């Protein structure tokens, strides 16, 4: 009994550490503390990276100073990219007067620029999703700057193709898509309105560039006229890089090309539809001034007014369809209605025989062409429910669409060279109607035949 009590007391008695162990432990304490600190630091970093990658983003604010600032910055970016493209009609007419190449060849300059704005989007859109927003935008601005200022020294067709077509197209494509995608992450319910406000830059740029060309070209020549356009871009894009602010955390994983998107039938139909619509729209923008000069005898400086009007009448109609889509019938329904009306009006070009009727046609078509340009990105987004893939999915669509923009202008020029404006207008109108049919089929496939359904 007593021996058992003594054993229990020994077992319960606090044990004194061995002195040898104390010496070893004392010598290793700094190493142990260092390992512990490093382990804790790595754990904190790992925790932050994991949280950053998997945390569900907060809902878009749909307003506020920060959100509307992104809209303004994107508006500037669109003005300096698509506004430049939309004003190519002014350059097309000028180049055809001073260069020996035919219109179909000259059109490759504008169509290459438009194509690259689309195609480069697959890379810059993914870079945006991955968190490389600011470096991507800076790179694009620098390349566009180089393209414009080397364009001012161009003296022949190939130099214009390399500078205005390729260099400015790549540069604009690099920074256009991330800025556009950024706006989409700040808005959900009012996304159509926000994108509509952004695309007003198409019309504003399409008025500013031809106006500058018309005023300066006869006075200071081609070189300094283009340099002035470059200075305008530098000022605007400095504001863009200063105030744009990404809202979502980076999406670290995922392929550059999301193959699952092309298993989505409505997405495929809609992208194919845009591929048919795009050549028809840019046929009008590229040849609006050339038709006036060739068929109606209008002088060059006066024909530039048509480019300005074509872009200017669309100003309110880049905003209104987005508002109607958000508030009442949805972006896909609004897009389908506007593209149908644009297709019908395009056929009305066949009845133009005088300058007054041509002005009427230009003003009417400009309204619905503006609606098309402002709505198609919003409509593509309406077919996707995963906001984290916004940049990649939109960039993929832009890449495919870009190739239709590439061949649209030259194909129109080739048809025109082989026949006349009547045949070319019929081709453009038919292409536009096919595009409308495919886009409408995408809407029906996804949401059914119920016309009253908001989508």
Is residue 33 pLDDT above 50, yes or no?
no
Q: 63 Cβ partners below 8 Å, 6+ apart? A: 187, 190
Q: C-alpha angle with apex 426: 424 to 432, nearest 5 degrees?
A: 105
| The pLDDT of residue 167 is above 70 | yes
* Domain range annotation of the chain: 60-447
Q: Are 339 and 435 in contact (CB under 8 A)?
A: yes
The answer to whether residue 22 scores a pLDDT higher than 60 is no
| CATH 3.40.50.510 is held by the domain 60-447 | no
Say how far apart CA 189 and CA 174 lie, in whole Å.
27
- Section 76-93 average pLDDT: 88
Average pLDDT of the segment spanning 56-65? 77
Give the Cβ contact number of residue 131 at 10 Å: 16
pLDDT, tens digit (0-9, with 9 covering 90-100), for 278-328: 999 989 988 988 899 889 988 888 888 898 899 888 888 888 887 887 788
| Mean pLDDT of the region 71-89 | 90
Mean pLDDT, residues 328-348: 91
pLDDT at 62: 79
Please return the burial class of 347, using the count of CB atoms within 10 Å of its CB with bins 0-12, 13-18 and 19+.
middle
Write down the residue that tokens 């619509």 correspond to. Answer: 277
* Average pLDDT score over residue span 140-148: 94
Q: Is 212 exposed, middle or buried (0-12, 13-18, 19+ CB in 10 A)?
A: middle
Assess whether pLDDT exceeds 70 at residue 129.
yes
Q: Would the pLDDT of 249 be above 50?
A: yes
On average, the pLDDT of the chain sits at: 81
């Amino acid at each position: 009994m007593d021996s058992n009590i003594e054993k229990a007391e020994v077992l319960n008695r606090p044990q004194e550490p061995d002195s040898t162990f104390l010496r070893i432990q004392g010598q290793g304490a700094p190493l142990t503390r260092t390992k512990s600190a490093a382990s804790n630091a790595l754990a904190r970093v790992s925790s932050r990276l994991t949280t950053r990658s998997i945390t569900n983003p907060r809902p878009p604010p749909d307003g506020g100073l920060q959100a509307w600032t992104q809209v303004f910055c994107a508006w500037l970016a669109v003005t300096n990219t698509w506004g430049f493209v939309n004003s190519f009609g002014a350059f097309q007419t000028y180049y055809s007067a001073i260069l020996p190449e035919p219109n179909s060849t000259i059109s490759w300059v504008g169509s290459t620029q438009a194509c690259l704005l689309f195609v480069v989007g697959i890379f810059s859109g993914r870079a945006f999703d991955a968190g490389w927003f600011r470096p991507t935008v800076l790179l694009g601005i620098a390349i566009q700057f180089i393209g414009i200022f080397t364009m001012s020294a161009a003296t022949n067709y190939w130099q214009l193709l390399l500078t205005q077509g390729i260099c400015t197209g790549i540069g604009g494509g690099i920074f256009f898509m991330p800025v556009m995608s950024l706006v989409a992450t700040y808005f959900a319910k009012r996304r159509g309105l926000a994108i509509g406000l952004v695309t007003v830059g198409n019309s504003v740029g399409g008025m500013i560039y031809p106006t500058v060309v018309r005023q300066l070209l006869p006075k200071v020549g081609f070189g300094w006229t283009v340099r002035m356009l470059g200075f305008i871009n530098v000022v605007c894009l400095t504001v863009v890089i200063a105030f744009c602010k990404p809202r979502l955390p980076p999406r670290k994983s995922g392929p550059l090309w999301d193959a699952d998107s092309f298993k989505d039938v409505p997405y495929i139909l809609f992208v194919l539809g845009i591929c048919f619509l795009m050549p028809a729209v840019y046929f009008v923008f590229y040849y609006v001034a050339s038709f006036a000069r060739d068929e109606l005898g209008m002088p060059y400086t006066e024909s530039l007014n048509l480019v300005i009007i074509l872009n200017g009448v669309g100003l309110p109609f880049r905003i209104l369809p987005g508002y109607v889509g958000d508030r009442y019938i949805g972006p896909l329904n609004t897009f389908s209605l506007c593209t149908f009306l644009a297709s019908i009006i395009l056929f009305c070009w066949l009845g133009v025989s005088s300058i007054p009727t041509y002005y009427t046609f230009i003003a009417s078509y400009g309204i619905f062409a503006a609606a098309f340009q402002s709505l198609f990105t919003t409509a593509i987004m309406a077919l996707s429910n995963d906001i984290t893939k916004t940049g990649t999915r939109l960039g993929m669509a832009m890449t495919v669409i870009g190739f239709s923009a590439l061949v649209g202008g030259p194909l129109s020029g080739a048809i025109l060279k082989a026949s006349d404006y009547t045949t070319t207008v019929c081709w453009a109108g038919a292409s536009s109607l096919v595009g409308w049919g495919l886009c409408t089929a995408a809407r029906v496939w996804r949401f059914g035949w119920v016309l009253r359904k908001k989508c």
